[in-house]
Amino acid sequence: MKATGVVVEYNPFHNGHYYHLQETKKQTNADCVIAVMSGNFLQRGEPALLSKWKRTKMALLGGADIVIELPYAFATSHAPRFAFGSIFLLQALGAESFCFGSESGDISVFTKTHDSLDSQQADYQLNIRNVMSDGLSYPAAAAKAFEALNTPLPLDLSKPNNILGFEYIRASRELGNVLKPLTIKRKNADYHDVVLGKGNIASATAIREALFSKDLSKAENYMPAFTYDLMVEDQQEKGTLMNWERFFPLLRYQLLSSSPSEINSYYEVEEGLEYRMIEAIKSSDSFNTFMTLLKTKRYTWTRLQRACLHVLNKIKKEEMHQLLETPPAYIRVLGMTEKGQKYLSSVKKSLEFPLVTTVSKHDLPGLRMEARTSLVYAQGALVNKLSAEKEEFNTPPVIVK
């Protein structure tokens, strides 16, 4: 069987994602689509609206055949490590290609950009580090780093999906260029759009804005019916869609009950940020207020959210560095279709890494971190907390027939 891969978060799964999956199948003519999906916490430093299990079901109903989990360490890291972990897992599971959405929509532009930069990688990486030290986001820093090389490049690397695609291809080259890269042009909505537009495709950002207005029906036209039904179901089960405000009391407790040195020990808390966090939290009655007080030109909103996420989950620098210095050590299956089951059966004996379907049967550092952070995620539920806590250990892979 021929497999292709996609890297996703599905927060939530919407019509643009459905289009991407269908076009991926057309472009690759693959028998099986493998989705590498972030778990309960996401790359922008946010809790997912719905648990990984609900989002896995959305993915399978939307056209994916296998959903595997991108471990917390990679899922909540900056673009290069996020991309590396994702592409590594797709390659480890035997995919022949991967397909991503981009503002460009032209894969040759990505490969030409990489080719032109091969001889300037050292300067490029140095430029990125220098620019990011001024507090710019990774996409903005990458774009400025390219400008500093004075080399005309065909790819617009100020666009978030272009920069992620660029990192996917770089990771693939680093891993031996085994997977064939393909890209599909994003339709209609811009990544940063915050308002629902005409038609039935909108950005995930705009859809989340509408969802947080407390009226799910405002976003109903922009997502498949199964997504809307699962969101209504989740809201009834947990009393809320997850967001940072649900976790603010826990974050506030962590910051007020910890010493500056303890806070500094957490990943991405650097350069005295711990003192600013302690002072800001004393004057904050909401996460949004806290972030507004915390924000400076030096740190992007995303970078600060990720730091808050690691404080919330008590993720120490040493353990994160250890996990990020090596590739993921396992392949965790969150769900599959019958076609996905058939594919896994065909490759299972040739896999070099453990295929995890039951967490309790394995003792691996990455899985231990996943279990810890999932217990924290469960605390965001307004109702049925105990049930939510058991999900990580008791939920078998989702099967969609």
Annotated binding residues for ATP, written as ranges, equal 7-20, 101, 161, 186
With beta carbons less than 8 A apart as the criterion, state whether 251 and 287 touch: yes
With beta carbons less than 8 A apart as the criterion, state whether 388 and 378 touch: yes
Q: Between β-strands 331-337 and 66-70, what pairing exists: parallel, antiparallel or unpaired?
A: antiparallel
Expressed in percent and rounded to 5, the helix, strand and coil fractions of the chain are 55, 10, 35
Of 344, 356, 6, residue with least CA distance to 179: 6
Tell me: cis bond preceding 12? Omega within 30 of 0 counts: yes
Q: Using CA atoms, how far apart are residues 275 and 299, in angstroms rounded to an integer?
A: 14
Q: Using CA atoms, how far apart are residues 65 and 34, in angstroms rounded to an integer?
A: 6
Burial label for 119, CB within 10 Å (0-12, 13-18, 19+), is exposed
Residue showing tokens 């710019």: 136
Burial label for 14, CB within 10 Å (0-12, 13-18, 19+), is buried
Q: Using CA atoms, how far apart are residues 216 and 212, in angstroms rounded to an integer?
A: 8
Q: Phi, psi at residue 34, to the nearest 5°?
A: -100, 125
Determine the distance from the C-alpha atom of residue 243 to the mean position of all C-alpha atoms in its chain, rounded to a whole number: 15
Find all residues with CB under 8 Å of 115, minimum gap 6, and list them. Answer: none
SS3 50: coil
Helix 301-312 and helix 273-282, axial crossing angle in degrees, nearest 10: 80
Q: Using CA atoms, how far apart are residues 15 and 19, in angstroms rounded to an integer?
A: 6
Determine the distance from the C-alpha atom of residue 348 to the mean position of all C-alpha atoms in its chain, rounded to a whole number: 26
**Which residues are annotated as part of the binding site?**
7-20, 101, 161, 186
Q: Which strand (E) or helix (H) includes residue 58?
A: helix 52-62
Q: Using CA atoms, how far apart are residues 309 and 76, in angstroms rounded to an integer?
A: 9
